[in-house]
Amino acid sequence: MKIGIYYGGRGIISDPTLYVLKKMTQVFEELNIEVLRYDLYDQKNNITTLPQSLKEVDAIVLGATVEWHGVGGYMNSFLDACWLYGDKERIQNIYMAPVIMSTTYGEKDAELDLIKAWTTLGGQCANGITGYVPDAADFEINKQYDELIEKCAENIYRTCNQRRISLPISTREISRKVGMNRTSRFSQQETEQLSEYISDERYVNKQKEDIKALAGFFKNKLESSSGGSVIEGYINAFKDNFNPKPGAQVGYKIVFTDSNKTLAIKIDGPSVEVKEGDVAYPGCTLSMSLDILGAITSGRKTFQGGFMDGSIIAKGDFQNIRLMDEVFPFMEEKS
């Protein structure tokens, strides 16, 4: 028989929970029980992989100290990892005994919180021990405390060894129904492997760098391949929908905010030149996305409308924006 002890405190010498767990360990070893000890503050960088250790034990003791409110972050993180990465079928056969010591108040609330968490995971619960002990030295003064701790450890052993059954509880049934809706594309083994990777900060940072590099590569590839044909389509749209206006003489520069491309339009009376590139002295510079220009050339939006709603940013003589709608009447073409 194996029992795992998971200590969620900060590891300070005066922590009364440490005394209780040490005394319980002595009792377990006298009963020829193998004890596996896990200090969560030492395992904080690998806490997502700790649920794997549950496969090795028949029962666990969750020990924590209420210093001001609740059981603290380490224990909560461990229980979160059990919910996300733990083997629920294995947890159903594991008894949990809570050991909660309080240096302020709230030990009973913390005990109930652990019991609710473990039953939600689907596990079984054994009677643990709680108490208000502001100083671990109190155990040295009152030896009757040792007898209580020893009896608690023995009861945990009997409960687990005899596999005592209990009536069904609503929390466990709700857990099963909720768990049925939690589907994963990964097997349990794959999930455990992924949990090992996500606990490695260097691996995560390397993956982020690789994703960023791939995103940049495909963005440039897309711009170089399909981007050119899109620009050519817009160039043809401007030429096909050109409506000359006598006396109009102006240059436009369209900068695409989601691409590294620029469109140059030169109007000189009855003629127009549209090409990819820059304009030396544009009368108006328009910044927009490729999608916005697509909406304009398809007649769903005007240059003036885009400027008014903020989807187009303009620099230069704003009267040239209205002129652009007049010499390129895409909206009329659409209607």
Question: Cα–Cα distance between 309 and 304 in angstroms, integer?
Answer: 9
Nearest to 231 by CA among 263, 264, 267, 255: 263
Residue 208 pLDDT level (bands cut at 50, 70, 90): confident
Token digits of residue 137? 């030295």
Q: How far is CA 57 from CA 36, 61, 217, 251, 276, in A?
A: 8, 11, 48, 78, 69
Classify residue 47: in a domain, yes or no.
yes
Classify residue 200: in a domain, yes or no.
no
**Under 8 Å between Cβ of 268 and 249:** yes
Classify residue 213: in a domain, yes or no.
no
The CATH number of residue 109's host domain is 3.40.50.360
Q: What is the pLDDT of residues 213-247, one digit of tens each?
A: 666 655 555 555 444 568 888 899 999 999 998 88
The CATH number of residue 295's host domain is 3.30.1050.10
Element (DSSP H or E) covering residue 284? strand 284-288
Alpha helices, H only, the chain: 16-30, 73-85, 88-91, 107-120, 138-141, 144-162, 170-180, 188-198, 201-240, 290-297, 303-309, 319-327, 330-334
Q: Domain end: 182, 205, 237, which one?
A: 182
Q: Is the pLDDT of residue 202 over 60?
A: yes
Number of H helices, E strands in the chain: 13, 11
**Centroid of chain to Cα 333:** 48
Residue 118 pLDDT level (bands cut at 50, 70, 90): very high
Residue 180 pLDDT level (bands cut at 50, 70, 90): very low
How many other CB atoms sit within 10 Å of the CB of residue 189? Answer: 8
Q: Is the pLDDT of residue 335 over 50?
A: no
Question: Cα–Cα distance between 303 and 10 in angstroms, integer?
Answer: 63
Q: What is the pLDDT of residues 250-299, one digit of tens each?
A: 999 999 998 888 999 999 989 999 999 888 889 999 999 998 999 999 88
Q: Domain end: 150, 182, 214, which one?
A: 182
Q: How far is CA 164 from CA 98, 105, 168, in A?
A: 17, 31, 13
Q: Domain end: 149, 182, 215, which one?
A: 182
How many other CB atoms sit within 10 Å of the CB of residue 15? Answer: 21
Classify residue 40: in a domain, yes or no.
yes
pLDDT of residue 317: 86
pLDDT of residue 107: 94
Residues 132 and 258 in one domain: no
Domain that holds residue 116: 2-182
pLDDT (average), residues 185-203: 60
pLDDT of residue 284: 93
Classify residue 177: in a domain, yes or no.
yes
271-276 and 262-268 as β-strands: parallel, antiparallel, unpaired?
antiparallel
In the chain, the number of structural domains is 2
For the chain, give the percent of residues with pLDDT over 70.
83
Residues 21 and 111 in one domain: yes
**Could you give the 3-state DSSP secondary structure of residue 196?**
helix
Nearest to 26 by CA among 194, 178, 149, 162: 149
**Under 8 Å between Cβ of 113 and 70:** yes
How many other CB atoms sit within 10 Å of the CB of residue 288? Answer: 23
Q: Is the pLDDT of residue 58 over 60?
A: yes
